[in-house]
Chain A
């Protein structure tokens, strides 16, 4: 039986029962290494996330969008003010940032570039995900990786099309919108057609699982400083899932495609991100799991250094990758070379597969070459 069949047979509740030890803090496996991937879908603007505040070119390129009140953390980098909660993490030595990350000849289509990052194959075929290939190599089970969200990512699709667990908090989270409420109402009403009813139950089962996981979520949110926002709740849910010691957790946060109104939109998103990251970091420490979980935040591309005419930025090339956990703290990959743009875009200094390769070899103790097809020099953020 392959995993696909297994997934079809295994209900989400069965997964939860199998992981019920996780209800207690002591259920977590202290030898487990977990990677939590957070994908910022849409293309996050790296230059306004980690600001090159000493570089005059930055303000020349961004007369309206340049951020002047960043929080300096080094002689060249200032954090976006909304990232103030990341500063203590950096000072505690648990935050590394790799800048100027992309791949040769970057592609500026959202979908194509997502495929490239998630497959780890800028040139080859994109029919499997790099994380799934790792998981297959260690014969992982369906419940060893959990995707939280609606659009199942390529990163977690195996060579044979195998899938891992998917939980969708969307129905619950979205119910503030009219459409969310309507979907909710629709899926709460039994269907007269037997197959339609089966469809309804399959969708609801995933939501039930999220509900069960979320039972004590409000209390957690109060005690662990998770924000009571939809994104904050997703982070709290991640914190809850981490207790069951999965090998991988994967979550997507959308909305980063800031062609317009970037100042407001990105600020709000970064605030939520940094609140979530710091809350989960505190949560991990309080459970003694701070050496068992590595968090990686990535985006399919960064944005154009020069601002556009509508208060935003268009698609660019490189983006920073954020790593939180038992890392060698600091900034890697050099400063953005605003004085030597290539076709108006930032030159690539670090291949994202160097980051993946280092995670595979140092974090998972796996052979990165078999997963990525090539060998890449490591960046150095892991000891």
Chain B
């Protein structure tokens, strides 16, 4: 990788792609990385007002939040933090398809924001006891004598230690330990809290992953957060998202060790990832297929396009990735699973809509005077475009040239 490719690669991974100003800035990527790791901004999620009945007002509250998420993703002061938060949204999945009260989701997003770079145990605790997760995976209904195993299963299978590390008995015992939670929304203030009701808790002895006692939610969180398999799960998943898929076991072990040594500190793991020699390897370069969120919001960010956010949200949905709308608890498709016709063909269409002058029917406004074709190739493709693309660009207007680059197979790669 030459210096330009390295810098652009850094921005593609730590952010959603560089803007021209960022690419030309004299600040080194090392400095930037340290800034972004150290100076976290806890942006406050929008306040949506009182909890309303199903209907227009509630719908608009949901839209207000979605609108905020789009802007936050595009314009965040600390894009790395935003990307990590997005990672946690994909990891600890909750969906508006089931969690119908938007205030539960803003509360959830605030929790992810607070703990995104902190101790994984605190993050896991905050997620486990959040109204959104209690509703999404039914743990609010899990009580002594009326056990619901949904959360107990998924927290191990998907969020922490992973399949093959536990027995069905562990799921049952874990579910008993997780009993006692209820959601208490304050409908007037539009806030959501969860409370622990001792009378709903199963107070008998449980045996969970080799530990025995009158275990409670805090014990489950503790056991899982400190489990060596959790360290590996998080290491593997973060590496796959920020560097390349299916990391070698040596890398996973190295990161898992950082996780353990730093008392589960996510910032330390992120720092280790971005300073690994493999981060700038040929294997990492352009090794990922951009997700729909990445493609659309990244293009808007890199090219300074003005967008109508309702159009943006509709386009994300058309491609299959609306915020807080994962199809299942497993989250959105990963990696090459986005190689589907609806995802890719819609991108070709959007590439034109974002760059052409369609007026208010288009939903986007782009100034083609800012960048020459050469500058576009530098900004978007590290001055490293396939000859076929360079040939095809010949004789195109600035708007068409931009559309073609955004439509190109190589631009779909991060």
Contact = CB atoms under 8 A, between A and B. Distances in A.
Nearest to A190: B388
Nearest to A185: B392
Interface string B385-414: 010110111011100100110011110110
Contact of A125 (B62, B311, B346, B393): B62
B325 A127 contact: yes
B256 to A, nearest CB: 28
Contacts of A165: 341
Contact of A123 (B56, B342, B409): B56
A8 B359 contact: no
Most chain B CB within 10 A, of A127, A150, A166, A192, is at: A150
A193 interface: yes
A21 to B, nearest CB: 23
Contacts of A334: none
A165 B413 CA distance: 24
A179 B363 contact: no
Given A166-B345, A182-B396, A195 B287 contact: yes
B396 A2 contact: no
B96 A125 contact: yes
A162 B328 CA distance: 11
Interface string B355-395: 00001110100000000000000000000001011011101
A191 B360 contact: no
Contact of A196 (B62, B318, B412): B412
A138 B351 CA distance: 35
Interface in A256-274: 257, 259
What secondary structure prevails in chain B residues at the interface with A? helix
Contact of A179 (B59, B314, B352, B361): B352
A151 B315 contact: yes
Nearest to B405: A186
Interface of A: 2, 4, 7-8, 12, 41-42, 105, 109-112, 114-115, 122-127, 150-154, 157, 159-163, 165-168, 170-171, 178-179, 182-183, 185-187, 189, 191-193, 195-200, 202-203, 205-206, 254, 257, 259
B55 A123 contact: yes
Contacts of B395: 178
Contacts of B56: 105, 122-123
Interface of B: 54-56, 59, 62, 96-97, 100, 286-287, 289, 308, 310-311, 314-315, 317-320, 322, 325-328, 333, 336-337, 339-342, 344-346, 348-350, 352, 359-361, 363, 386, 388-389, 391-393, 395-397, 400, 403-404, 407-410, 412-413
A309 B34 CA distance: 56
Contact of B346 (A151, A159, A178): A151
Contacts of A257: 359-361
Contacts of A166: 341-342, 345
Contacts of A167: 341
A89 B413 CA distance: 50
Contacts of A186: 388-389, 392, 404, 407-409
Contacts of A206: 341, 345
8 contacts: A2-B327, A109-B310, A170-B349, A183-B392, A186-B389, A186-B408, A192-B386, A200-B409
Given A123-B55, A154-B318, A199-B412, A168 B388 contact: no
A161 B320 contact: yes
Nearest to B288: A195
Contact of B311 (A111, A150, A182): A111
Contact of B341 (A12, A105, A178): A12
A8 B361 contact: no
Most chain B CB within 10 A, of A12, A123, A197, is at: A123
A-B pairs, 7 with minimum CB distance? A150-B349, A189-B388, A161-B327, A196-B409, A257-B361, A152-B342, A199-B409
Given A127-B96, A159-B97, A187-B409, 11 more contacts: A8-B337, A109-B310, A114-B314, A150-B348, A160-B327, A179-B400, A186-B392, A196-B413, A202-B339, A257-B361, A259-B360
Contact of A199 (B96, B325, B339, B392): B339
Given A168-B345, A203-B348, A198 B396 contact: no
A189 B333 CA distance: 28
A105 to B, nearest CB: 8
B339 A185 contact: no
Contacts of B62: 125
B319 A259 contact: no
Contact of A178 (B348, B386, B400): B400
B286 A193 contact: yes
A182 B342 contact: no
Contact of A4 (B311, B319, B327): B327
A163 B340 contact: yes
B339 A183 contact: no
B85 to A, nearest CB: 22
Contacts of A200: 409
A124 B54 contact: yes
A125 B328 CA distance: 18
Most chain B CB within 10 A, of A7, A112, A162, A205, is at: A112
Contacts of B350: 151
Contacts of B346: 150-152
Nearest to A189: B388
Most chain B CB within 10 A, of A159, A182, A198, is at: A182
Most chain A CB within 10 A, of B289, B342, B396, B408, is at: B342
